[in-house]
Amino acid sequence: MTESDQPSVPLSVLLADPALALRQVAGPVGEHRVSTVGTTEIEDPSPYLVGGELLLTAGVRLPLDAEGVDTYVRRVVAAGVTALGFGVVPVHDEVPPELVAACDRHGLPLLRLPPATPFVAVGQATYAAIAEVRNRELREISRAQSALTAAAARPDALRAVLTQLSGHTGAWAVLHDARGHELFSAGPRPAPPTPGRVRDLAVRTIARVRTGAAGRSVPAAAADHQGGTHLTVHTLPGADGTATALALGQAATTAPTLVHRQVTGTAAVLLALLTSPRHALGTDTHSAGALVRLMLGATPADVAASLAPAGTTEDAGHWVVVHGRHTSPRSAQGDDPAQLATLGTALGTPYLYIDGSELKALVAGAPDARPDVPAQAADLGWVLGFSTPAPAADLAHADVRAGRALQRAIAAQVPAAVDTRDPLTVHGIVPSAEARELARTRFAPLDGAASPGAFVLLDTLRTWLTLHGSWDRTAAALHVHRNTVRHRLARIAELLDVDLQAPGVRMELWFALHWLPDEDQDSSD
């Protein structure tokens, strides 16, 4: 336990106790803290001091000359004594003026103990006050830990834990990954450059996490104090011996107390559990049983109820399909279990599949609920497309719609897009059966197309129209050369016998693509 962690009480509490009748006669006035009480009558007590003491003396061996008194005070100040208590009588009738002057000179609070106040009484009062302070701290820690635990059980657990942490410490709390991305934060955001300083400190601290015995990661911590702002960073403990890749950062205008450090430690453990693959991506017995049944021939509709979160209603057999694409050339998610778990926690589902830079996920949802789009996914480098909630029997169609939404998000250069089926559009005034038949007829000439096939040609056409006819952006979205895009569109124009530069033709094909039945668009999968 460090000196700052020692239970202590402000000196003002003892001065305010009428039973002690203490009076400060020299030294600075302020919130000096006393952690223990000691009594001494030797000429040089400094070798026997640990710091934080209220040192009591009757001046039995106090030097008689001013220089000797000055040396005495200078030594006890160097030893870390908080204050000096001087008991008048029987040796001295009053506090020696040389002692008063020396304490003023060296900044040591000097208390006068009246004859009726025993040294033992001062010790008893001090330890009683320290015990009360300690009890208050323990009660505060207990309340904070209970609130953090309750927050960890919420659907938005990561954000909820950070919110409780900020509320109980008064600090801005933020969760960073190894690249400095801000995943979640809570509390009043400090003005620049403080957030950047926290980010840089987090990146440096994560980088120096070392591997200890048995290959387990050893969490690291760092602190910085500049301009009245106190910064702290704690890396989250690694799960199952893996290296941690997340850090909890805090910025506050006051130094962290023992309570704050205890609460922060609890929050760090909870955040580590919430972002661990075992918690966020693990499956319970119901999910495992559903997988067994599915592999042995059951349909998605048969096992959907076993996969739904506990406590959901009978309408919860609906699922949102999520498609994603990582914006960097190489996704870090597949290599980083902690970040993968963070993505699963942000989406609110353990059902994720990532293949390189491509993501698919299933999120349980009510039939009429609009999917929640987590901002943290964009912070992790993902662009997402969401289907509307669909029953398990319609997951194949929802999968196609999620893919379309992802294409729109990429084309519009936005973090996410949600597929909608709004009846108050032109799609809603055309009978669905007639619209599907028209679309099938319009694109029928592509059915016999040689390689790359009708599906790829339709996907190229849809992307090109979404991107307003941009060859370069279409090529980038499809990861092909721009000449490949030109060749495919020329082939489409030839087979459909249309002029793709005509606005009316583009509009007609755009509506037809929306009306094309899902099974026709997904026939190559």
Torsion region of 227: left, alpha or beta (phi above 0 gives left; psi -120 to 50 gives alpha): left
Nearest by Cα to 196 from 220, 221, 174, 218: 174
Q: Could you tell me the pLDDT band of residue 309, with boundaries at 50, 70 and 90?
A: low
Q: Could you tell me the pLDDT band of residue 331, with boundaries at 50, 70 and 90?
A: very low
Question: How far from each other are the two terminal CA atoms of the chain, in whole angstroms?
Answer: 62
Structural contact between residues 145 and 261, judged by C-beta atoms closer than 8 angstroms: no
State yes or no: pLDDT of 68 exceeds 80: yes
| Six-digit token string for 467 | 């991107």
State yes or no: pLDDT of 524 exceeds 80: no
Structural contact between residues 264 and 169, judged by C-beta atoms closer than 8 angstroms: yes
3-state DSSP helix/strand/coil percent for the chain, to nearest 5? 50, 20, 35
- pLDDT value, residue 99: 97
- Note if the pTM is more than 0.75: no
Question: CA 237, CA 279: separation in Å to the nearest integer?
Answer: 14
Tokens 């349909």 — which residue? Answer: 299
As a whole number, mean pLDDT of residues 211-237 equals 77
State yes or no: pLDDT of 525 exceeds 50: no
- Average per-residue pLDDT in the chain? 83
- pLDDT value, residue 290: 67
**425-468: per-residue pLDDT in tens?**
565 556 667 777 888 888 888 888 888 888 889 989 988 998 88
Omega prior to 452 cis, within 30 of 0: yes
Question: CA 261, CA 276: separation in Å to the nearest integer?
Answer: 22
Question: CA 445, CA 442: separation in Å to the nearest integer?
Answer: 8
State yes or no: pLDDT of 494 exceeds 50: yes
Q: Could you give phi then psi for residue 500, rounded to 5 degrees?
A: -70, -10
**240-252: per-residue pLDDT in tens?**
444 457 899 999 9
Nearest by Cα to 403 from 361, 375, 367: 361
Question: Packing angle between helix 119-152 and helix 258-274, nearest 10 degrees?
Answer: 20
| Six-digit token string for 23 | 């009076």
Q: Pick 502 or 424 by higher pLDDT.
A: 502
Would you tell me how many other CB atoms lie within 10 Å of the CB of residue 180? 16
- SS in 3 state form for 185-196? EECCCCCCCHHH
The number of residues in the chain equals 525
- pLDDT value, residue 27: 96
DSSP state of 21: -
Question: CA 146, CA 152: separation in Å to the nearest integer?
Answer: 10
DSSP state of 362: E
Bridge partners of residue 54, in order along the sequence: 37, 83
Pairing assessment for the beta strands 416-418 and 358-365 based on DSSP bridges:
unpaired
Q: List all residues 6 or more positions away from 125 whose beta carbon is below 8 Å from its beta carbon.
A: 14, 17, 19, 20
Q: Pick 124 or 330 by higher pLDDT.
A: 124
